[in-house]
Chain A
């Protein structure tokens, strides 16, 4: 059983949750979104700077559990240089991975540390919260998005 736990809380995840990367607001902000998980009260504000159709810089703020914080931190590193279409495709791939444990197609790189989430269905929303915010920001959705 503790294999499941250490799969969920890999050292990389614990490290990112303790010292999240890009954990600051951006000025100016081209796109932003707020995401909340109504079940636990977790909240994230995501800021994006764009360079044409590509994401130039990403910053986030908020409070959350180790999984949502690490997911946001690693996501901010992965999103730089991506187009909205690529982000939506990544969203689907990450969702597939955290719900089924499967990673089909191209290597998800450092995002693969979240594979262990699929054994903890109650925590899927924590991992997906920042991704919901990212898609909402790119779609220009100004209403807060929720994981529900």
Chain B
């Protein structure tokens, strides 16, 4: 029986990040005859041993349903599940654990807010303010609720290839019709880190409810919902070293209390009659059915792991690698780069001459380099930039400069291959 791993990782010094690699078994393999270079962490991160061990321990030793049983295992499962909630509240600096709702991920968190807060509060003529760089998951749920309620959408423009928000008209966009402002913290395509705290402060002064899409930031930099000034925050466990299928929604207590439930079922009720029911209090009101208990346990281990390393250090490493990749890519001829020149997160999107992103990614894979090629769930942004797709390299703390050098070598091979 494996004991759960406590305090999994001490911080590593700058320049010695390769010390974490043995924690990630997936990284240690050959792909197509070459050592794997995993540059797709913006899609999903790899999972360290303490997370795998926590999942294993939960299923081997503590598995039971939560909140219903009187027996020992159910008590342990409940304790583990609610312990993960308390940990998540601490991780996001939420005021109380009741402000944390477990969901399947960022997408479900945003859909939950759209379908509960949105359905209860939006009316014809109201506006939802977004940005032109939102992932489809922070766009389509708002389109759906706008169609149902008669609300409309407006957008903060993106400047162009340099991928910044054009804030010159922000105050005009925050007009009296705007009820909600939802914005991504870090762009999954451009790597832009948006100045959300300042934007949210201006929105909230006008009584506008704010939502932060933290899918690309939660596992990469320290977050504090009080300082950020967001009413809601959505993130995914699997992009921050946790398992797939678990995510978080932070919601301010007063808002969660006033919101109607979303899905009906067990757990979310306090009493049920044949014709009507009374709802449980938040967060359970929003957690119908048996939750992903193991996922929450795994996410708890992931949060411990990340904080053991230090999210401020992780972000510094992301930024350093991205800046290095950006410079090296810029030195190649015929490369078009997307996103800001400075201050970017660990995401670099690019195009190479006339080589389509899909062809580039297919060939890179033959050299063991895992990239993403496509529209990155940013179709409107791609159209705005006048491209069908881009290739994207995304980094995490387990990536190294040597791997970036390998990417540059492989890109030169790819260019040779397609110009032969």
Contact = CB atoms under 8 A, between A and B. Distances in A.
Interface of A: 1-2, 4-5, 8-9, 14, 18, 39-43, 63-67, 120, 122-123, 126
Interface in B368-420: 373-375, 379, 382, 388-389, 417-418
A122 B363 CA distance: 12
Interface stretch (B49-57, B247-255, B351-359): B351-359
Interface string B15-44: 000000000000000001100000000000
B362 A120 contact: yes
Interface of B: 32-33, 354, 356-359, 362-363, 366, 373-375, 379, 382, 388-389, 417-418
A74 B354 CA distance: 20
Contact of B389 (A4, A41, A66): A41
Given A9-B417, A40-B374, 15 more contacts: A1-B33, A4-B366, A5-B366, A18-B354, A39-B374, A40-B357, A40-B388, A41-B388, A42-B358, A42-B388, A42-B389, A43-B388, A64-B356, A65-B358, A65-B359
A44 to B, nearest CB: 11
A14 B418 contact: yes
B374 A66 contact: no
A50 B363 CA distance: 39
Contacts of A42: 358, 388-389
A123 B379 contact: no
A42 to B, nearest CB: 6
10 interchain residue pairs of minimum CB distance: A65-B356, A65-B358, A41-B375, A41-B388, A40-B374, A66-B359, A1-B32, A63-B388, A41-B389, A65-B359
Contacts of B388: 40-43, 63-64
Nearest to A5: B366
A83 to B, nearest CB: 32
Given A9-B417, A39-B374, A40-B374, A1 B366 contact: yes
A122 B375 CA distance: 15
Contact of A5 (B354, B358, B417): B417
